[in-house]
Chains A and B, each alone.
Chain A
Amino acid sequence: MTAQMWVFVAYFIVVFGIGWYSLRATRTEADYWIAGGGLGWFTGGATMAATHTSAGTFVGTIGVMYTAGWSFAWVLLSVPLGYWFMVAVLAPRFTRQRELTIPAFIETRYYGKGVRALAAGIILVATVVYIQAQIVAGGLIANTVFGIPTTWGMIGFTTILLVYTVVGGMMAVVYTDAFQLVVMGLGALFAVPLALRQVDGLGSLLSLVESAHPLVFTWETMPATLLFTMGLSFFLGGIAGPEKLIRLYAMRDMTTIRRGVLFAIVMILGINLLVFLLALSSIVLFPVLPTGDLAMPMVATAVLPATLGALMLAAITAAMMSTVDSLLIVAGSALSVDIYQNLVDREVSPATKLWIGRIGILVVGSVPVLLLLSGVGEGELVQFIVLLFTALMAAAFVMPVVGGVLWKRATREGAMAAMSGGVIATFLWEIFGPASVEPVLSGFLVSAVLFVGVSLVTAPPPAHALEPYFESTSSSSGAPS
């Protein structure tokens, strides 16, 4: 076995160990879906940061920067601002009543099962597409490290992910995320000085980059409208992505949430700022790659010594797995809690609920790889799919979630119109709109107009729907833990 293989085998052993521990610690449904709702700032923040950081960060961002230059780096600023808004404005009201899933919040606030099922359906479809993109990246890594065909790599990664997520639920996801965040941090931290040494330090790097790619530090490589709408996408997606919102229910209280998100922001910015330097180095070291998405694998295999290169590849894998496992939880709960238990079979015992949850994750986790094997949705543009997913989540959920806790007049019909209209407008723009403006803009605007307009012309919500979120007493009672 090569050094690379040893690094990966050790890595998978740790992940399985955490899965096994989590299986023993999971007793209730709340343990399985929100890790019991008692996470501290370190684990809560670490899982937030690890979920945010996907293969899109390590492969996609470097790819975009390799071709389009540094101006893309400025989009990063929208990420901490989105999280800050989420903690300061949304979280204090949103967490007053703790739920197990985001569609469950939608049912409580919008007093209807149909609106909950709609939210769950949107999550399911969008998540499957997103998981596909991440698994393709995983297949490519397995091909590089183990020399096995990409298809077997995708199947292998899906199996590993499903084993620990199905058995350990959110507990396993949270603790493996914390471990994977460490792997990502170490990977980026060790790779940057070595890459910089290859180009004689930071000062020399900047002038070398400019001579290899004269427009790299200008604003002429990407349209301003595209940069701005990409930023809007990350800002809005940061506020209302279900995989992020559910972590607010998983953390203990508001103080923990504020500290946890600070930790997440610091880690996300730190990892991204390091990865940006790797992108610049790759412009100098490999000036003529056929596609930007190859830049990161080239740095890992050609610049770094074998063991560190393996650590870097493990970091990309960690980024991919820690995002997919969180999405599996969100999608699995949408299927088994929000759709099956909510609409089909309400009278089940707690033990049966756990099993239904496990089957739900197994089903949603198998679909993406089965679709890929049958040739549906094969694409390599990782960052492109990340942005489409973020836009869909922003268009569907920002208005119903943020508007729901800030505006008493918001109605069920308004929320349904906002979700479906936002999703449709996002897709239409993606297909027919100009590429210089991200689809999130049209999706979000249509969603906002429908939310307000339809709410105003329909009957006001009943008092019981508003009571959990608009009472002046603030507490996080009602926790199912």
Chain B
Amino acid sequence: MIGPGFTFWGVYLACALIVVGYVVWMIREERR
């Protein structure tokens, strides 16, 4: 096991991915 593993870091990673996804979506909406 890598430290406490994915259960811990996964939350931070998933939050970052959601924010990146939102920004990409927002930029595409504004270009339309």
Which A positions have Cβ atoms within 8 angstroms of B?
A: 70-71, 73-74, 76-77, 80-81, 84, 88, 203, 206-207, 209-210, 216-219, 255, 258-259, 262, 265-266, 269, 273, 276
Partner of B11, one of A76, A206, A216, A218: A76
Residues of B within 8 A of A73 (CB): 11
CA–CA, A263 to B8, complex, Å?
24
CA–CA, A112 to B1, complex, Å?
60
Residues of B within 8 A of A265 (CB): 18-19, 22
CA–CA, A71 to B5, complex, Å?
12
Task: Let me know if B29 and A258 touch, CB within 8 A.
Answer: yes
Partner of B3, one of A77, A80, A203, A219: A203
Partner of A81, one of B7, B18, B23, B29: B18
Q: Which residue of A lies closest to B4 (CB)?
A: A217
CA–CA, A206 to B18, complex, Å?
25
A128 to chain B, nearest CB (A): 33
**Can you spell out 23 A-B residue pairs with CB atoms less than 8 angstroms apart?**
A70-B4, A70-B8, A70-B11, A74-B11, A77-B15, A80-B22, A84-B18, A203-B3, A206-B4, A206-B8, A207-B3, A210-B4, A217-B4, A217-B8, A219-B7, A255-B30, A258-B30, A262-B23, A262-B26, A265-B18, A265-B19, A269-B15, A273-B11
Residues of B within 8 A of A88 (CB): 25
Q: Which residue of B lies closest to A269 (CB)?
A: B15
Residues of A within 8 A of B8 (CB): 70, 206, 217
CA–CA, A265 to B23, complex, Å?
11
Residues of A within 8 A of B29 (CB): 258
Task: Let me know if A71 and B18 touch, CB within 8 A.
Answer: no
CA–CA, A259 to B8, complex, Å?
29
Task: Let me know if A218 and B3 touch, CB within 8 A.
Answer: no
Residues of B within 8 A of A71 (CB): 7
Given known A-B contacts A259-B26, A262-B22, A76 and B4 have beta carbons under 8 A apart: no
Q: Which residue of A lies closest to B23 (CB)?
A: A262
Task: Let me know if A217 and B23 touch, CB within 8 A.
Answer: no
CA–CA, A74 to B6, complex, Å?
11
CA–CA, A266 to B25, complex, Å?
15
| Chain B interface bracket (under 10, 10 to 19, 20 to 34, 35 or more) | 10 to 19
Q: Which residue of A lies closest to B25 (CB)?
A: A88
Residues of A within 8 A of B19 (CB): 80, 262, 265-266, 269
Given known A-B contacts A70-B8, A206-B3, A80 and B15 have beta carbons under 8 A apart: yes
B32 to chain A, nearest CB (A): 11
B14 to chain A, nearest CB (A): 5
Task: Let me know if B3 and A84 touch, CB within 8 A.
Answer: no
Q: Which residue of B lies closest to A69 (CB)?
A: B7
CA–CA, A70 to B23, complex, Å?
27
Task: Let me know if A76 and B3 touch, CB within 8 A.
Answer: no
Task: Let me know if A217 and B7 touch, CB within 8 A.
Answer: yes
* New A-B contacts (16) at CB < 8 Å, excluding given A77-B15, A84-B25: A71-B7, A77-B18, A88-B25, A203-B3, A206-B3, A216-B4, A217-B4, A218-B7, A219-B7, A258-B26, A259-B26, A262-B23, A265-B18, A265-B22, A273-B11, A273-B12
CB-CB nearest 7 A-B residue pairs: A217-B4, A217-B7, A73-B11, A269-B15, A80-B18, A258-B26, A206-B4
Given known A-B contacts A217-B7, A217-B8, A77 and B14 have beta carbons under 8 A apart: yes
Most central of B5, B12, B19 by chain A CB within 10 Å:
B19
CA–CA, A210 to B4, complex, Å?
8
CA–CA, A299 to B26, complex, Å?
38
Q: Which residue of B lies closest to A207 (CB)?
A: B3
Q: Which residue of B lies closest to A219 (CB)?
A: B7
Task: Let me know if A273 and B4 touch, CB within 8 A.
Answer: no
CA–CA, A77 to B10, complex, Å?
11
Residues of A within 8 A of B11 (CB): 70, 73-74, 76-77, 273, 276
Residues of B within 8 A of A210 (CB): 4
Residues of B within 8 A of A81 (CB): 18
